[in-house]
Amino acid sequence: MSDYSNLLVYLDGEFVAWNDARIHVFTPAVKYGAAVFEGIRGYWNADTEKMYLFRLEEHMRRLELSQRIMRFGRIVPAETMMEATVDLIRRNAFRAAVHIRPTVYVAGAGESNAQTPIGTFITAIARDTPKKVERGVRAQISSWQRISDNVMPARAKANGNYNNSRYAGLQAAKDGYDAAIFLNSRGKLSEGQAMCLFLVRNGVAVTPSATSDILESITRDTVIRLLREKGIEVQERDVDRSEFFDASEAFFCGTGAEITPIIDVDGDAIGAGTPGELTRALQATYFDLAFGRSNPDHAWLTAV
Ligand code: PMP
């Protein structure tokens, strides 16, 4: 088990020791999963001796959206969360890549409809790029269906939504796969457990649309823009599972997953069964940007 006991946690306006960051067992967040969160990465650049937080504001704006969808009685503004995050990174004096997890939750002792009081906390821990980003993953199209917008909106990054992901993830692992891919209630491709997905067909990048029961991923937006800058056409639309049989490349994308090649779906290789050429080029561009190597003054980077 990892030991985080030397780290500080932001909790309701204070910075407290990791082992003192507690909330009560009777909070609606614990009883009913009435909480929303974000996952944000910070990339440590050893040359400039700076941490670059990637698209911090966009993440905190999405956290506002998640609170609105969940009908929280008070919306914690992005500005408050951004300031607290920068402060937390400074106080913990990280000199390695980090993963930041801000949460806004229904506190108090209310029942499942409770909308107030609202609590906040932010953790940050050291976390490197996972090995799967290099070697790629073998994915299973799950027999579990993605939650739909009129069941539990995937557009909100709500803690409870991750039970859906968990069912698919556990099944994929049991069946010997590295990752799961969801179909939505209309039978179209949706997303992975905590990542969106792209296919490359005849040189065109294709990704399920924002109305495919996905989280509106910030990395997906980054990838769309980077691909277009490379002159690659991108289509956001309904995508069928059979399109994998015609894909030369496929990849997942997300803050945690970064750009993870999909090398196989349900036992059938994608392309040569190795990470694709465009996927590799995109990874290089993405990391150069995120580490502040290509442009340390880029508007997407918050230097700490
Ligand atoms: N879908 C889901 C369900 C997720 O949890 C995540 C991770 N936040 C993503 C997609 C990727 O989103 P982002 O690129 O904003 O991290």
Predicted confidence at residue 2, as pLDDT, reads 86
Residue 82 burial (CB < 10 Å; 0-12/13-18/19+)?
buried
If one counts every other C-beta atom within 10 angstroms of the C-beta of residue 126, the result is: 16
Segment 201-248, tens digit of pLDDT: 999 999 999 999 999 999 999 999 999 999 999 999 999 999 999 999
Predicted confidence at residue 281, as pLDDT, reads 98
Predicted confidence at residue 137, as pLDDT, reads 98
Buried b (16+ CB within 10 A) or exposed e, 186-195: eebbbbbbbb
What residue owns the CA closest to ligand 1's atom 5? 194
181 close to ligand 1 (CB < 6 Angstrom): no
If one counts every other C-beta atom within 10 angstroms of the C-beta of residue 60, the result is: 22
218 close to ligand 1 (CB < 6 Angstrom): yes
254 close to ligand 1 (CB < 6 Angstrom): yes
What residue owns the CA closest to ligand 1's atom 7? 194
Terminal-residue alpha carbon distance, the chain = 28
Predicted confidence at residue 164, as pLDDT, reads 98
Catalytic residues: 157
**pLDDT tens, per residue, the chain with 304 residues:** 689 999 999 999 999 999 999 999 999 999 999 999 999 999 999 999 999 999 999 999 999 999 999 999 999 999 999 999 999 999 999 999 999 999 999 999 999 999 999 999 999 999 999 999 999 999 999 999 999 999 999 999 999 999 999 999 999 999 999 999 999 999 999 999 999 999 999 999 999 999 999 999 999 999 999 999 999 999 999 999 999 999 999 999 999 999 999 999 999 999 999 999 999 999 999 999 999 999 999 999 999 9
Residue 95 burial (CB < 10 Å; 0-12/13-18/19+)?
exposed
Chain region(s) in the chain for CATH 3.20.10.10? 132-290
Chain region(s) in the chain for CATH 3.30.470.10? 8-126
Q: CATH code for 8-126?
A: 3.30.470.10
Q: Which residue has the tokens 């179209």?
A: 188
The correct CATH number of 132-290 out of 3.40.30.10, 3.20.10.10, 3.40.1400.10, 2.60.120.260 is: 3.20.10.10
